[in-house]
Structure 1
Amino acid sequence: MSKWFRFLKRDQQLDVYFFAVPRLSLNIMGYWPIGDKLPRRALIHFVILAIGVATELHAGMRCLGQQQITLALETLCPAGTSAVTLLKMFLMLRFRQDLSTMWHRLRCLLFDPNWRQSEQRDIRLRCSAMAARINFWPLSAGFFTCTTYNLKPVLIALVLWLQNRCEDFVWFTPFNMTMPQVLLSSPFFPLTYIFTAYTGYVTIFMFGGCDGFYFEFCAHLSALFEVLQAEIESIFRPYSDHLDLSPVQLYTLERKMRSVIIRHNAIINLARFFRERYTIITLAHFVSAAMVIGFSMVNLLAMGNNGLGALLYVAYTIAALSQLLVYCYGGTLVAESSTELCRTMFACPWQLFKPQQRRLVQLLILRSQRPISMAVPFFSPSLATFAAILHTSGSIIALVKSFQ
């Protein structure tokens, strides 16, 4: 067990931190894109979650038809999250080969043997460790939350048994799903209970794997841009006190600058290719969060002065915003590190170049002035967007409560 969680330690190698959480989560589900054959468990988990989504959505719609608003929203909120997770599973299968290619390209760039300086190694190690620990937080929180939901009926039954009130208890499944009556009675109920509980874990591990893959990729792209900044500074550092350079020094400096530009172009192309493959997933994440927030607003109007119900759906809203934070922070890391490259280049003694060679510097500065954006239609993942969503959500909640 300790071998699986080595990435939580501080003294590990870069290879241990590299995509640690997505690799752990997606390997369990069978969706890790590295490998020739698709594991059979990937299709099994897809079918399990598809059944769970269909039955959960049907149960939510039936509750709406019976005017059970509270129960309907309690059912539809997790059903929406599971439905988006099912879409992620489909897209992970659809772009399996592309994700594998991108992962190998990123690994080749990050583990480049030419980057031997201690500063460059520290940057890569710091960003990888940070990404692993941030990704582990939503995965562990989701796992324990799902476990609490799954144990809730058992704990209620245990409390009633200790109070000698067994006749007051009626067994129910952790998540509200439409099931045939025969599956909700003996001897099939334990199997139904296990199946219902397991669908929650499929959602959690796919969330931790798919979204963790996105954040890891953004964090490592940011690390690559920072390494390029360190390399540019190291290239010009020996000539910081020079007024002029010899032809040999100019040739050496130009050759190193061309190498930096080639790597810069490779990182930009990789970022664009990755953004295109994750466009639908990112957009679906924003839409699902908006749906949960909308359901919360409707529930706040329906619940009236029921403080417990209002607190419950505010918690749903916070959970949806927490999911968005992973995407928004990842987009901010890429954008800020890509634009910082032009400031680093401008601060170096580039005037030592001859006019013809200065074009390399000018092209690099011009291209890096425009940030690399992970934007999707209607949304641009960034901390500014996340802050705007928080501000809007708080305003809507305050407005809804003022009408009660």
Structure 2
Amino acid sequence: MWPRVLSSSYPMEAHYFMVPKFALSLIGFYPEQKRSWALLAWSFFNFSILTYGCYAEGAYGIQQIPINIGLALDALCPVASSILSLIKMLSVWYYRDEFKSLIDRIRQLTEEQHSDRKLGYKKSYYTLATRLTALLLLCGTCTSTSYTVRHIFENMLRLSHGKVWIYETPFKMNFPDVFLRLPLYPWIYALVCWHGYITVACFVGADGFFLGFCLYLTVLLRSLRDDIKDLLQLECKGIEVEPTVQEEKRIVREMVKLINRHNEIADLTERLSGVMVEITLAHFVTSSLIIGTSILDMLMFSGVGIIVYLVYTLAVTTEIFLYCLGGTYIMEACLDLARSTFASHWYGHSVPVQKMTLLMIARAQRVLVVKIPFFSPSMETLTSILRFTGSIIALAKSVI
């Protein structure tokens, strides 16, 4: 049984960017939040924690490379995700006005779709977006928590064998010695744990934005397909009818509106590419390295360490899967729009209607994609990434 908040019976309006809104509001970076001095201070605090965490993890990992490759990978694996989260945090902040505009406009367009079929699309895709981003939130939270549990568990074992507690943080970081001694140690420990959850909130928010925008644009494309099919229908109660001259003029006017709707959807996709380009490019470039490193860590560690990196691998794989799934949904909706329009009864209408229909078919065949340099988010891209990841793992195992 799904929790009600993840079920299709939950109000559709509440599903709209529900998980990204929760994650980014938690750290003060959701674009629709009202900016105040208190919120700005909280945002800067979280930015500072994440920034220093990236530096401290990276410094520790680089320092350990010639000493202990296992400890080095244990630090450098999560720091890659932390740096990506920092990029996502900065991008969401820099493009906050554009994100807010996109959220508002797509909300308005989807609310205009009222038929039973369109409400079915909305219920299906809205619920899917919430469930998948909730899965990502769960994987990320479990990953961050597992680092803390691992450290506490290992120290409890040490105490049970008469050894002393090791004063270090759950994520391997460089700190001045004074911060790793009482009375400051508990506060530093809590801040490092919070650093992990800030990382989770950033990638859940940014990745949830990408998936949500893709699925909501898919709803608009599916709705547009239905409107075109219904408009060009020549049958009434199973009997084919001949449209009148006035009816044909009305169809031409409606087709102009539908083409304008398609133009706006294409424009929204272009705007989405503009605000997500840094996030998506960084994610695709580093995804193989992050997944490969986490699997290597899983192979090198034992006990609780295996569980930690198993959960971590699931989290980072889920991230890249959501990007590829969202891009695939948009491309398939565009192709379905072209096929459905061509399969309609457009050939039974007047020449002006036929010209408008052919224009729509030609435009729909130009598949809408979230453009990023070198990559196109799709399931084929995911397959290539996983293949390349396997090559990285095989190479690393032969060297280490």
TM-score of the aligned structures, taking structure 1 as reference length: 0.89
Specify the code of the residue in structure 2 equivalent to 1:42: S
Specify the code of the residue in structure 2 equivalent to 1:144: C
Is the Cα contact below 8 Å between 2:54 and 2:82 reproduced in 1? yes
Separation in 2 of the partners of 1:232 and 1:25? 38
Instruction: Determine the structure 1 residue equivalent to 2:54.
Output: 53
Q: Using a 3 Å threshold, how does the CA distance of structure 1 residues 145 and 189 change in structure 2: closer, same or farther?
A: same
Query: Following TM superposition, by how much is the alpha carbon of 1:228 offset from its aligned partner in structure 2, in angstroms?
Result: 1.0
Query: Following TM superposition, by how much is the alpha carbon of 1:357 offset from its aligned partner in structure 2, in angstroms?
Result: 2.6
SS in 2 for 1:357: helix
Separation in 2 of the partners of 1:217 and 1:335? 13
Instruction: Determine the structure 1 residue equivalent to 2:5.
Output: 7
Separation in 2 of the partners of 1:270 and 1:76? 37
Identify which of 211, 220, 223 aligns with 1:215. 211
Instruction: Determine the structure 2 residue equivalent to 1:108.
Output: 108
**1:304-315 residue pairs with structure 2 within 5 A?**
308=302
Is the Cα contact below 8 Å between 2:15 and 2:130 reproduced in 1? yes
Separation in 2 of the partners of 1:257 and 1:6? 40
Separation in 2 of the partners of 1:42 and 1:28? 9
Residues 146-173 of structure 1: per-residue CA shift (max 9 Å, x gap):
1121132323344455x4x343442321
Specify the code of the residue in structure 1 equivalent to 2:262: H
Separation in 1 of the partners of 2:135 and 2:279? 20
Residues 168-204 of structure 1: per-residue CA shift (max 9 Å, x gap):
4423210111111011011111011101111000000
Q: 1:353 aligned to 2:349? A: yes
Q: Using a 3 Å threshold, how does the CA distance of structure 1 residues 396 and 44 change in structure 2: closer, same or farther?
A: closer
Query: Following TM superposition, by how much is the alpha carbon of 1:320 offset from its aligned partner in structure 2, in angstroms?
Result: 3.4
Identify which of 270, 273, 278 aligns with 1:272. 270
Query: Following TM superposition, by how much is the alpha carbon of 1:119 offset from its aligned partner in structure 2, in angstroms?
Result: 0.6
Specify the code of the residue in structure 1 equivalent to 2:203: F
Query: Following TM superposition, by how much is the alpha carbon of 1:388 offset from its aligned partner in structure 2, in angstroms?
Result: 1.7
Separation in 1 of the partners of 2:228 and 2:165? 69
Residues 8-61 of structure 1: per-residue CA shift (max 9 Å, x gap):
133122101111111111111111111452622222111110111111111111
Instruction: Determine the structure 2 residue equivalent to 1:368.
Output: 364
Separation in 2 of the partners of 1:197 and 1:159? 21
Separation in 1 of the partners of 2:157 and 2:374? 49
Specify the code of the residue in structure 2 equivalent to 1:256: E
Q: 1:181 aligned to 2:177? A: yes
Specify the code of the residue in structure 1 equivalent to 2:142: F
Separation in 2 of the partners of 1:177 and 1:307? 19
Instruction: Determine the structure 2 residue equivalent to 1:73.
Output: 73
Is the Cα contact below 8 Å between 2:136 and 2:315 reproduced in 1? no
RMSD value, Cα: 2.6
Task: For structure 2, list consecutive stretches of 5 or more residues without a partner in the other structure.
Answer: none
Query: Following TM superposition, by how much is the alpha carbon of 1:6 offset from its aligned partner in structure 2, in angstroms?
Result: 5.0
- Of stretches 265-274 and 7-16 in structure 1, the one that deviates more from structure 2 is 7-16
Is the Cα contact below 8 Å between 1:153 and 1:171 reproduced in 2? no
Instruction: Determine the structure 2 residue equivalent to 1:17.
Output: 15
Query: Following TM superposition, by how much is the alpha carbon of 1:354 offset from its aligned partner in structure 2, in angstroms?
Result: 1.4
Task: For structure 1, list consecutive stretches of 5 or more residues without a partner in the other structure.
Answer: none
Identify which of 325, 337, 350 aligns with 1:329. 325
Separation in 1 of the partners of 2:394 and 2:60? 31
Is the Cα contact below 8 Å between 1:157 and 1:166 reproduced in 2? no
Q: 1:197 aligned to 2:193? A: yes
Q: 1:117 aligned to 2:118? A: no
Identify which of 239, 253, 256 aligns with 1:255. 253
Query: Following TM superposition, by how much is the alpha carbon of 1:85 offset from its aligned partner in structure 2, in angstroms?
Result: 0.7
Specify the code of the residue in structure 1 equivalent to 2:368: I
TM-score of the aligned structures, taking structure 2 as reference length: 0.90
Q: 1:342 aligned to 2:343? A: no
Separation in 2 of the partners of 1:136 and 1:294? 24
Is the Cα contact below 8 Å between 1:338 and 1:371 reproduced in 2? yes
**1:286-297 residue pairs with structure 2 within 5 A?**
286-293=284-291, 295=293
Q: Using a 3 Å threshold, how does the CA distance of structure 1 residues 259 and 87 change in structure 2: closer, same or farther?
A: same
Separation in 1 of the partners of 2:31 and 2:229? 36
SS in 1 for 2:232: helix
Specify the code of the residue in structure 1 equivalent to 2:98: D
Is the Cα contact below 8 Å between 1:19 and 1:213 reproduced in 2? yes
Q: Number of paired residues? A: 391
Specify the code of the residue in structure 1 equivalent to 2:140: G
Specify the code of the residue in structure 2 equivalent to 1:57: G
Q: 1:239 aligned to 2:268? A: no
SS in 1 for 2:211: helix
Query: Following TM superposition, by how much is the alpha carbon of 1:356 offset from its aligned partner in structure 2, in angstroms?
Result: 2.4
Q: 1:384 aligned to 2:380? A: yes
Separation in 2 of the partners of 1:328 and 1:291? 17
Residues 314-373 of structure 1: per-residue CA shift (max 9 Å, x gap):
876654333211111111011110121011111111123211232110110001012111
Separation in 2 of the partners of 1:23 and 1:306? 37
Separation in 2 of the partners of 1:188 and 1:130? 44
Query: Following TM superposition, by how much is the alpha carbon of 1:296 offset from its aligned partner in structure 2, in angstroms?
Result: 6.0
Is the Cα contact below 8 Å between 1:59 and 1:177 reproduced in 2? yes
Is the Cα contact below 8 Å between 1:350 and 1:358 reproduced in 2? yes
Q: Using a 3 Å threshold, how does the CA distance of structure 1 residues 400 and 15 change in structure 2: closer, same or farther?
A: same
